[in-house]
Amino acid sequence: MTTTASTTQGEVLPPPTERYTVLGWLKKNLFGSWLDAILTILAALFIAWAVYTGANWVFKTARWDVIVNNFALFMKGQYPTEEAWRLWLVIYLAAAIGGLMWGVFVRSREMAGWLLLILPLLFALAALALGSNVWINVLLIDVVALVAYFLGRTFPKQLQRPTITLLLLYLPLILLIVRGFGENGFMPQVGTNFWGGLLLSLLLAIIGIVFSFPIGVLLALGRQSELKAIHWLSVIYIEVIRGVPLVTLLFMGMVMLPYVLPAGLRIDNFIRVAVAIVMFAAAYLAENVRGGLQSIPKGQYEAADAIALGGFAKMTRIILPQALRAVIPVLVGQFIGLFKDTSLVALVGLFDLLGIARAVLANPNYIGTQLEVYTFIALVYWVFSYGLSYASKRLETSLGVGER
Amino acid sequence: MSEPVIICRDVHKWYGQFHALRGIDLEVDKGEVIVIFGPSGSGKSTFIRTINRLEEHQQGTIIVNGIELSHDVRNIAAIRKEVGMVFQQFNLFPHLAVMQNITLGPIQVRKWKKKKAEEIAMQLLERVGIPEQAEKYPGQLSGGQQQRVAIARALAMQPQIMLFDEPTSALDPEMIKEVLDVMVELAESGMTILAVTHEMGFARAVADRMLFMDAGSIVESGPPSQIFENPQEDRTKLFLSQILQH
Ligand SMILES: Nc1ncnc2c1ncn2[C@@H]1O[C@H](COP(=O)(O)OP(=O)(O)O)[C@@H](O)[C@H]1O
Ligand SMILES: [Mg+2]
DSSP code per residue over B35-69: EEE-STTSSHHHHHHHHTTSS--SEEEEEETTEE-
Classify residue A329 as left (phi > 0), alpha (psi -120 to 50) or beta: alpha
Amino acid at A67: I
Chain A nearest C-alpha distance from B120 (Å): 16
pLDDT tens-digit readout, A318-368: 999 999 988 988 999 999 999 999 999 999 989 999 999 999 999 999 988
Residues of B in contact with A310 (CB under 8 A): 77, 108-109
- Which pLDDT value is given to residue B246? 59
Atom of ligand 1 nearest to the CA of B40: 23
For the cut 60, the answer to whether the pLDDT of residue B86 exceeds it is yes
A215 occurs within a structural domain:
yes
Residue A241 sits in a domain whose CATH number is 1.10.3720.10
pLDDT tens-digit readout, A278-302: 999 999 999 999 999 999 999 999 9
A263 occurs within a structural domain:
yes
Contacts of A401 (CB under 8 A, 6+ apart): A325, A326, A328, A329
Residue in chain A closest to B102 (alpha carbons) equals A307
Higher pLDDT, B134 or A62: B134
Give whole-number Cα distances, A30 to A33, A41, A49, in Å: 8, 9, 19
User: Of B146, B153, B49, which is closest to residue B105 (Cα–Cα)?
Assistant: B153
Whole-angstrom distance, CA of residue A199 vs CA of residue A203: 6
How many domains would you assign to chain A?
1
User: Of A77, A83, A82, which is closest to residue A180 (Cα–Cα)?
Assistant: A83
Instruction: Give the number of other CB atoms < 10 A from CB of residue A194.
Output: 17
Chain B nearest C-alpha distance from A317 (Å): 9
Range A180-193 average pLDDT: 86
Chain B nearest C-alpha distance from A160 (Å): 17
Range A305-319 average pLDDT: 94
A264 occurs within a structural domain:
yes
- Cross-strand pairs, B161: B83, B192
A84 occurs within a structural domain:
no
pLDDT tens-digit readout, A55-112: 999 888 888 889 888 988 999 999 998 888 999 899 999 989 988 988 888 877 776 7
Range B7-28 average pLDDT: 96
Residues of A in contact with B92 (CB under 8 A): 303
Quote the ipTM score: 0.95
A81 occurs within a structural domain:
no
Amino acid at B157: M
- The answer to whether A203 and A94 are in contact (CB under 8 A) is no
pLDDT tens-digit readout, B179-227: 999 999 999 999 999 999 999 999 999 999 999 999 999 999 999 999 9
By mean pLDDT, which of A31-40, A133-142, B125-134, B208-217 is the weakest? A133-142
Contacts of A352 (CB under 8 A, 6+ apart): A196, A197, A198, A200, A201, A204, A342, A343, A345, A346
Flag if A308 and B157 touch (Cβ within 8 Å).
yes
A256 occurs within a structural domain:
yes
A99 occurs within a structural domain:
no
Whole-angstrom distance, CA of residue A354 vs CA of residue A245: 19
* Closest residue to B94, CB basis, from A304, A310, A404: A404
For the cut 60, the answer to whether the pLDDT of residue A397 exceeds it is yes
- Which pLDDT value is given to residue B37? 96
Flag if A308 and B54 touch (Cβ within 8 Å).
no
Amino acid at B35: V
Q: With b meaning 16 or more CB within 10 Å and e meaning fewer, what string describes A198-210?
A: bbbbbbbbbbbbe
Mean residue pLDDT of chain B comes to 95
Which residues of chain B approach chain A closer than 8 Å at the C-beta? 52-54, 77, 80-81, 83-85, 87, 89, 91-95, 104-105, 108-109, 139, 153-154, 157
Helix ranges (DSSP H) in chain B: 44-51, 73-82, 98-108, 114-127, 143-156, 173-188, 200-206, 224-229, 234-244
* CB of residue B190 inside a 6 A radius of ligand 1: no
pLDDT tens-digit readout, A248-283: 999 988 887 777 777 777 788 899 999 999 999 999
For the cut 60, the answer to whether the pLDDT of residue A7 exceeds it is no
Percentages helix, strand, coil for chain A (3-state, rounded to 5) are: 80, 0, 20
- Provide the percentage of residues in chain A whose pLDDT is more than 70: 89
- Cross-strand pairs, B11: B24
Its domain, for residue A290, covers: 197-363
Whole-angstrom distance, CA of residue B58 vs CA of residue A214: 38
- The answer to whether A254 and A348 are in contact (CB under 8 A) is yes
- Which pLDDT value is given to residue A131? 57
Residues of A in contact with B87 (CB under 8 A): 299, 302-303, 306
- Which pLDDT value is given to residue A102? 87
Residue A2 pLDDT grade (very low, low, confident, very high; cuts 50, 70, 90): very low
A278 occurs within a structural domain:
yes
